[in-house]
Amino acid sequence: MSVRVVLVDDQPLVRAGVAALLEGAPGVEIVGEAADGRAGLSIVRQVVPDVVLMDLRMPVLDGLEATRGIVADPALASVEVVVLTTFDGDEEVLEAIRAGASGYLLKDFQPHELRTAIATVAAGGSLLAPDVARRLLRRLADEPVPRPRDPRIESLTGREREVLRHVGLGETNEEIARSLHLSPATARTYVSRLLARLDARDRSRLVILAYEHGIVRVGEGGG
């Protein structure tokens, strides 16, 4: 079964280039295109794709607001967003993650990176690599933002907080299992439970939550 993709970018050449890359990829089907965020949101609501490739800076409605619109719509709960952009600043990455994007890919990507990105998020994964996560933690440490008390965080058990800390350090489920002497299946269960309890769409949001609530502190993990 093919992964259904919508392209949203205000540059026709970019859309044509991405489409050309994906047309020859097995298991990928382009089901819509749009030149701005508002039109993109409309198409996504019509066709309900598996993945949206979203530019950030566009006229009418930018990619961040369009992503927020997708995430806020219960009818689009199965749709994952990958941001495609020329901007790699920490603020852009952080805002895209907070808006609900499951991935962040620069437009100088290699063809195989794009195909891997689509397959990863379609399978429920995240494209926030550990080194990017550590960079964002440093950014947040430099400009800490006070967070109100979150009863969901406070209600976590000691073991759940430990698992969240290791997710925040960028560890895979297998690494978490080794660190906490759990079976891989148990580690996966804990991560899935955290995603549900903290209303997080993917591990990227868990990383941010872990830092913002002091469960992970800058400098941990040797990064």
Kindly report the CATH number assigned to the domain that includes residue 173: 1.10.10.10
Which of 67, 102, 127 represents a domain boundary (last residue)? 127
| CA nearest neighbour of 49 among 64, 22, 29 | 29
Residue 34 sits in the same domain as residue 58: yes
| Nearest-5° Cα angle at 190, 186 to 199 | 155
Higher pLDDT, 162 or 208: 162
Distance set, CA 122 to CA 47, 169, 219 (Å): 16, 23, 32
Which pLDDT value is given to residue 125?
67
Which of 105, 127, 149 represents a domain boundary (last residue)? 127
Which of 127, 152, 177 represents a domain boundary (last residue)? 127
pTM, entire model: 0.68
Residue 117 sits in the same domain as residue 144: no
**Spatial CB neighbours of 180, under 8 Å, sequence gap ≥ 6:** 159, 162, 163, 166, 187
What b/e readout covers 21-49, taking b as 16+ CB neighbours within 10 angstroms?
A: bbeebeebebbbbbbbbbbbbebbeeebb
How many domains are contained in the chain? 2
CATH number at residue 122: 3.40.50.2300
Residue 89 sits in the same domain as residue 156: no
Instruction: Find the mean pLDDT for residues 206-211.
Output: 80
Largest CA distance in the chain: 51
Q: Which residues pair with 3 in a beta bridge?
A: 28
pLDDT 10s digits, 60-101: 999 999 999 998 899 998 898 988 877 656 566 777 777 888
Q: Tell me the pLDDT band of 172, cut-offs 50, 70 and 90.
A: confident
Residue 79 sits in the same domain as residue 160: no
Residue 205 sits in the same domain as residue 100: no
User: For residues 202 and 80, what is the distance between their CA atoms, to the nearest angstrom?
Assistant: 10
User: For residues 164 and 194, what is the distance between their CA atoms, to the nearest angstrom?
Assistant: 7
Distance set, CA 25 to CA 2, 21, 102, 120, 122 (Å): 10, 7, 21, 15, 15
Q: Tell me the pLDDT band of 134, cut-offs 50, 70 and 90.
A: low
Instruction: Find the mean pLDDT for residues 21-27.
Output: 82
Range of the domain at 216: 134-222
Checking if the pLDDT of 143 tops 50, the result is: yes
| CA nearest neighbour of 3 among 29, 24, 21, 26 | 29
Residue 145 sits in the same domain as residue 218: yes
